Amino acid sequence: MIELKVNGVQRSFDGEPAMPLLWYLRDILGLTGTKFGCGMALCGACTVHQNGKAIRSCITTMQRAAGTEIRTIEDLSAHGLQPVQTAWMEVNVPQCGYCQSGQIMQAAALLHEKPHPTDADIDDIMSGNICRCGTYQRIRAAIKTAAGERA
Amino acid sequence: MNSITNVSRRGFLQGILSTGAFVISVQLLPESLFAADVPVPSPADKATLHPSVYVGIDPDGTVYIIAHRSEMGTTSRTSVPLVLAEELDADWSRVKVQQAIGDPRYGSQDTDGSHSIREFYGPMREAGATARLMLIRAAAQQWGVPEGECTTEPHTVVHKASGKKAGYGDLVAAAAKQPVPKKEELHFKPKSAWRYVGKGQSSCDLEDICTGKAKFGMDSHLDGMVFASIEHPPVLGGKVKSYDDKAPLQVKGVQKTILIEPFTPPHHFQPLGGIAVIADNTWSAMQGRKKLKPVWDNGPHAVYDSAEYKKELQATARKPCKVARNIGDVDAAFAQGGKILEAEYYLPHLAHASMETPVALANYRDGKVEVWASTQNPQGVQEVISQKLGIPKESVVCHVPLLGGGFGRKSKPDFAAEAAILSKQVGRPVKVVWSREDDIRFDYYHSVSALYLKAALGPNGLPTAWLQRSVFPPIGSTFDANATYGSAGEMQLGWADLPFNIANIRAENGPAVAHVRIGWLRSVANIYHAFAAHSFADECAHAAGRDSVEYLLDLIGPPRIIDVKASAPEYENYGGSPTDYPLDTARLRHVLQVAAEKSGWAQFKPSKGKGVGIAAHRSFLTYVATVVHVEINDQGEIRIPRVDTAVDAGLVVNPEATRNQFEGAAVFGNSLTRFGEITATNGVIDQSNFDSYPVTRMNEAPYKTNVYLVESDAPPAGVGEPGVPPFAPALCNAIFSATGKRIRELPLSKANLAA
């Protein structure tokens, strides 16, 4: 039995320990805000927070999630929109929106570590998250907007 | 015929609207058909159908506007209803956008070709104005005042003289009893009174997207559903010879394996066939699939080898081909001499690679199917499921959740048919989830192409003759296994409509046999046609020793309307009428000048490793010019500090969303120019995920794309696709400016740009 905390709720899982956290979140808990994009940690659509750090849930097995605290996009705004989400809306970042949960979770983790990221910081941390619609310059602008709000 | 009918009694919107709701539809169905109340027209009827739109207002004042087009990121789900809300004079905050199911009563719902606004701007305005007039008349009658004295404020009818006001909700019962006004009676708001059109609104899904609440096709759910992952034949048309049906069942969560029959050619939108693994969750299905050990009969397309095929395409392009357009006599002009330029271009297949892979949930029960599909084409879903299951189309209900990107791939509903076939066999709802590898390896690919261009330059450096040939396996091969030539539909995309002022022009197209499924991808044949034509135009400018912008202005020639059909009889002009949407070189010149000016073209001095390039192209009836600034270091690494794009798309309903489209188009163009390449070996696609089929990441994207929307009262044109075609030639022309290296083959990852 694997024990973990998801969005503040204690959970136990008795399935295959090799199952990626992504599919546990989506298919078993019904937390579909976290997206499947590639299954190989190449696109970042599945990004969630594990003990506060951004991780790719598509390659994180349940075994490796055991005993940790997982936070998904659904919980990021549980107590009101986060500055990063407000900024995303202000800048009208999304087109199709499918990758944006992952982008927002990645950006939130970035801003937590570096409240005032440089362009190089943003490139460095955000280049693991693909947006096929190509909203990158708005993502960059939204991150800077969110950073300003925190200042 | 455009008839507007009060359809409150028809229950079209049952489940959405409460009793007493007042429903207006603008129907562009034949009157007789409408009168007969045929729920779903026949395919023949369908061919003559035109779009229709619906709006309902509840007594509580809630306005329901039906979005009948699929939302895949262009914001059409917001922008199309916004046009209706404008003429209704609705308060947008009281509008609820409701996504339509697939139903031919709406006209074509195939959300492609950049025509949602173009085609529905008029019908939406009429629907809004019709509802508004009926509300005004209801109020005027109640108050005993002339209707001409009544006006509206948002969501309210007002009689200024008496100070009377009534909310729309309070008037709907009386308005529903009004006869439907004729089109001639409608009043449209003057542009000065517009609140929404031209100003825009954020996507109605914005907050849901940013909080993870938005429901995409991938997020569809039914209680009791099971999950399927499908092993497709690796070669198009392949068949299953054998597989291990025991080992997958050993995987925890796997329930069964099911054989899906191969398609009957042509493949059209049929499933590819293969073996489905059914499981309790997506991951178990994918794990079980790894144990199948299938043995295939690959069939005739196993001959497909991209390296060999390239040689065939190029050989075809070097010989005279079928003429798609002719002006003057290029052969005679070439015989007269002048400076002769020749160039060959080559572009590979591309995959769409939407962030959301193809996905559908289907529930078959008692001869009926309900399906939730990430589809640009819900009626296509109805059609293919009807064919595959032998049930009437009317027995297929297709819901359309948000699409995680589409780019043309999701117009083809093969994956939805898979879900329906499997649900029937399993007896439960089945969700089919394609892996990224499935998506890349089993796409309807953008066509590979070889192009040959030849020009004779006169004494002034301008061409006296221009010959262009394109060769590519056509989209038609998806619908007709014997199709080898491009259709008029493909020739109109930047080939037959070359807007240059040259006395002798011939556009040709050569045959090519398709060995993979070919489909349309964002801007379609414009991609290779524009790349070749605008790269070659730049080559001509260089040969003439002239500035590219000045040369292009001369090449386009004086402001005029080009009657393309006179020289290309099959020219379709994207379905736009030549009066509403003429090919107007004044508009092309203008965007070229705006892009050049805004980008600082005249002030820019190319230096080692720093260059600038331009291309101007009309597609989907929109005029676009793009300037790309590029920096290339000694290692050959590319950086794009700036892109400037000038756009004349006629009237723009939602400017912010439109700018986002053109910013995204630069990134999409960057992907196909620098990275995109699908190849086949022995009929099997070589690429499989974002490692082998890279797309642009943030650090590779243009740092800043500036979009300039030209103010225009011309009818609205496309915005989703037209930003893509000029990007590749503009970037490659910039690379030439920076390095002196002329790029004639994509992607750039194959070129050596190191100093």
Task: Return mean pLDDT, chain B.
Answer: 92
| Sign of the alpha-carbon torsion through B53, B58, B59, B62 | negative
Which residue range is the domain that position B636 belongs to? 306-350+444-750
Interchain pair B210, A104: CB under 8 A: yes
Closest Cβ opposite residue B664 in set A40, A85, A95: A95
Q: What is the pLDDT at residue B9?
A: 32
Q: Which chain B residues are closer than 8 Å to A123 by Cβ?
A: 698-699
ipTM > 0.85, yes or no: yes
* B709 & B734 share domain: yes
Instruction: Tell which B residues from 188 to 247 touch A, by Cβ distance under 8 Å.
Output: 202-203, 205-207, 209-216, 218-219, 221, 227
Q: Is the pLDDT of residue B577 over 60?
A: yes
* A82, closest residue in chain B (CA to CA): B211
All structural domains of chain A: 2-75 (3.10.20.30), 83-150 (1.10.150.120)
Q: Answer whether B564's CB lies under 8 Å from B583's CB.
A: yes
Q: What is the pLDDT at residue A77?
A: 84
Q: Is the pLDDT of residue A63 over 60?
A: yes
Q: Which chain B residues are closer than 8 Å to A100 by Cβ?
A: 209-210
Looking at the DSSP assignment, which residues form a beta bridge with residue B627?
B614, B644
Interchain pair A137, B663: CB under 8 A: yes
**Is B600 among the domain residues?**
yes
Q: What is the mean pLDDT of residues B565-571?
A: 97
Closest Cβ opposite residue A132 in set B206, B666, B695: B695
Interchain pair B357, A96: CB under 8 A: no
A41 touches chain B (CB under 8 A): no
Q: Which chain A residues are closer than 8 Å to B203 by Cβ?
A: 92, 94, 97
**What's the rounded Cα separation, in Å, for the pair B730 and B358?**
32
Q: Is the pLDDT of residue A125 over 60?
A: yes
Domain boundary among B160, B187, B210: B210
- Using 50, 70 and 90 to split pLDDT, how confident is the model at A151? very low
**Is B553 among the domain residues?**
yes
Domain boundary among B166, B181, B210: B210
B643 touches chain A (CB under 8 A): no
Interchain pair B698, A136: CB under 8 A: yes
Q: What is the pLDDT of residues A15-25, one digit of tens each?
A: 999 999 999 99
Q: What is the pLDDT at residue B647?
A: 98
**What's the rounded Cα separation, in Å, for the pair B232 and B239?**
9
The total number of structural domains that make up chain B: 3
pTM of the model: 0.94
For residue B415, give the nearest of B598, B520, B272 by alpha carbon: B272
* B203 & B249 share domain: no
Q: What is the pLDDT of residues B504-548, one digit of tens each?
A: 999 999 999 999 999 999 999 999 999 999 999 999 999 999 999
**Is B439 among the domain residues?**
no
* B206 & B231 share domain: no
Instruction: Tell which B residues from 421 to 440 touch A, by Cβ distance under 8 Å.
Output: 433, 435-436
Interchain pair B212, A74: CB under 8 A: yes
Domain boundary among B433, B465, B490: B433
Q: What is the mean pLDDT of residues A87-116?
A: 98
**Is B522 among the domain residues?**
yes
* A15, closest residue in chain B (CA to CA): B252
* B579 & B687 share domain: yes
**Is B322 among the domain residues?**
yes
Interchain pair B212, A123: CB under 8 A: no
Q: How far does the CA of residue A127 sit from the closest CA of chain B (Å)? A: 5
Q: Chains A and B: how many Cβ contacts under 8 Å? A: 193
For residue B1, give the nearest of B97, B89, B179, B123 by alpha carbon: B123
* Least confident interval from A66-75, B17-26, B45-54: B45-54
**Is B438 among the domain residues?**
no
Q: How far does the CA of residue A142 sit from the closest CA of chain B (Å)? A: 12
Instruction: Tell which B residues from 652 to 671 touch A, by Cβ distance under 8 Å.
Output: 656-657, 660-661, 663-668, 670
| Sign of the alpha-carbon torsion through A44, A45, A49, A55 | negative
Q: What is the pLDDT of residues B161-217, one digit of tens each?
A: 999 999 999 999 899 888 888 889 999 999 999 999 999 999 999 999 999 999 999
* B219, closest residue in chain A (CA to CA): A32
Half-sphere exposure of B295 toward its Cβ, with a 13 Å CA cutoff?
A: 5
B79 touches chain A (CB under 8 A): no
Closest Cβ opposite residue A94 in set B203, B280, B354: B203
Candidates A98, A99, A104, A144: best to mutate against B (most CBs of B within 10 A) is A98
A122 touches chain B (CB under 8 A): yes
Tell me B644's DSSP state. Answer: E
* B644 & B706 share domain: yes
* B329 & B469 share domain: yes
Which residues lie closer than 8 Å to B93 by C-beta, 6 or more apart? none
* B368 & B428 share domain: yes
* B339 & B412 share domain: no
Closest Cβ opposite residue A98 in set B74, B355, B665: B355
Q: What is the pLDDT at residue A80?
A: 87
* B328 & B362 share domain: no
**Is B755 among the domain residues?**
no
* A84, closest residue in chain B (CA to CA): B210
Q: Is the pLDDT of residue B346 over 60?
A: yes
End-to-end C-alpha distance for chain A, whole angstroms: 44
Q: Is the pLDDT of residue B360 over 50?
A: yes
Task: Give the CATH number of the domain where residue B290 resides.
Answer: 3.30.365.10
Listed in order, strand segments (DSSP E) in B419-560 are: 430-433, 449-457, 463-471, 504-510
* B427 & B450 share domain: no
* A45, closest residue in chain B (CA to CA): B355
B357 touches chain A (CB under 8 A): yes
Q: What is the pLDDT of residues B61-83, one digit of tens each?
A: 999 899 999 999 999 999 999 99
Which residues lie closer than 8 Å to B664 by C-beta, 6 or more apart? A95, A133, A134, A135, B73, B723
Q: How far does the CA of residue B406 sit from the closest CA of chain A (Å)? A: 9
Instruction: Tell which B residues from 679 to 698 touch A, by Cβ distance under 8 Å.
Output: 689-691, 695-698
B72 touches chain A (CB under 8 A): yes
**What's the rounded Cα separation, in Å, for the pair B68 and B47?**
18
Q: Answer whether B102's CB lies under 8 Å from B381's CB.
A: yes
Q: How far does the CA of residue A89 sit from the closest CA of chain B (Å)? A: 7
- Using 50, 70 and 90 to split pLDDT, how confident is the model at A149? low
Q: What is the pLDDT of residues B616-638, one digit of tens each?
A: 999 999 999 999 999 999 999 99
Closest Cβ opposite residue A28 in set B281, B660, B670: B281
A42 touches chain B (CB under 8 A): yes
* B282 & B314 share domain: no
Interchain pair A132, B253: CB under 8 A: no
Classify each residue of B712-743 as buried b or exposed e, where b means 16 or more C-beta atoms within 10 Å of its C-beta.
Answer: bebbbbbbbbbbbbbbbbbbbbbbbbbbeeeb
Interchain pair A96, B72: CB under 8 A: yes
Q: How far does the CA of residue A32 sit from the closest CA of chain B (Å)? A: 6
Listed in order, strand segments (DSSP E) in A14-116 are: 47-50, 53-56, 69-71
**What's the rounded Cα separation, in Å, for the pair B613 and B595?**
11
Q: Is the pLDDT of residue B52 over 50?
A: no
Task: Give me the long-range contacts of B190-198 (CB less than 8 A, separation at least 24).
Answer: B191/B713, B194/B86, B195/B86, B195/B89, B195/B92, B195/B154, B196/B82, B196/B83, B196/B85, B196/B86, B196/B92, B196/B653, B197/B82, B197/B83, B197/B86, B197/B651, B197/B653, B198/B651, B198/B652, B198/B653, B198/B655
* B679 & B698 share domain: yes
Interchain pair A95, B433: CB under 8 A: no
Q: Which chain A residues are closer than 8 Å to B206 by Cβ?
A: 89, 92, 94
